[in-house]
Amino acid sequence: MTDLKTPPPAHVLIRKLPVFSPVAVKLMTLVADEDVSFKEVAKLFSLDPVLAGQILKLANSGLYGRQVAVQSVLQAVAMLGLKNISRIAITAALTSGLPRPISPWLRDWWRHSIATALIADHAGAGTLDLDYGYTAGLLHAIGGLALFRHAPEEYPKMDCTCANALQSERERFGANRAELTALILAEWRLPLSLQHAISKQNLPNAAEPLAAAVQAGCYYAESLGFGQCGCGPDTAQEATPARPLDPALLNGLAIEINRIEIDCAIA
């Protein structure tokens, strides 16, 4: 049993999480290649049959409303496109590692991550060189998950939004959620552009487009009631994104988040 009175080293905390699928990581680099073939992507998923099965399940779910059953990863890529397959794969890779049964804190964390991902993708539309808005938003609060896995009863009781929250986490656990997020993304060998953007999301008025998209995603996710992760700037004025989003778009995203939750068996 872990002694919660003695803060463990950070590497112990991040190893509370399962290894992120290397196939999902490789897919992130393929998304940036305009010449990648559908067959190449399907071959990649043959290296991770479990992930391939999860992709087929989600591809046939109500989220995409397919009239024809998707029977192979190659067919799924052809019908849904590489961008949607990438989203499905990354979402499935993260969701598959969540401990069951899903606790109230974990469900709120997951919904916040999905909401941030979807909103960050829209916030970064037209400004990002690579399609990383969704992925960066999805993983921006992964450090909090590591702390929850370490102390599932104690951590949900902590106020992650108070002024000294990060310092309190460091004193209690040996590392805070922001530090753990950076270590986890490096451990999983995610693209450096993703690592840098997520590490800068707590800076006021982030100038880097991907960091700004994540910051906007987190802000609007909290505004819509999808949890609070305490990852953004300290003050409301600093946290407010410079680029507001259409309220009608945000309302539609709330419906989409609920559908993803059902299709991923989180509800």
Print the domain residue range for 258: 100-267
Give the pLDDT confidence score for residue 193 in this predicted structure.
85
Are 169 and 194 members of one domain? yes
Q: Give the range among 13-17, 89-93, 182-186 with minimum mean pLDDT.
A: 13-17
pLDDT digits (tens, 9 = 90+) for 18-76: 778 888 888 887 776 767 788 888 888 888 888 888 888 888 876 666 667 888 888 88
Give the pLDDT confidence score for residue 196 in this predicted structure.
87
Q: Which residue has the tokens 């949890």?
A: 227
Are 111 and 209 members of one domain? yes
| pTM of the entire predicted model | 0.86
Give the pLDDT confidence score for residue 101 in this predicted structure.
87
Are 149 and 91 members of one domain? no
Give Cα 97 distance to the centre of its chain. 12
35, 68 in Cβ contact below 8 A? Answer: no
What is the arithmetic mean of pLDDT over 131-154?
Answer: 91
Are 224 and 118 members of one domain? yes
Are 121 and 80 members of one domain? no
pLDDT over threshold 80, residue 242: no
Give the pLDDT confidence score for residue 237 in this predicted structure.
43
Measured CA to CA in angstroms, residue 5 lies from 88, 174, 175, 176, 248 at distances of 39, 11, 14, 16, 47
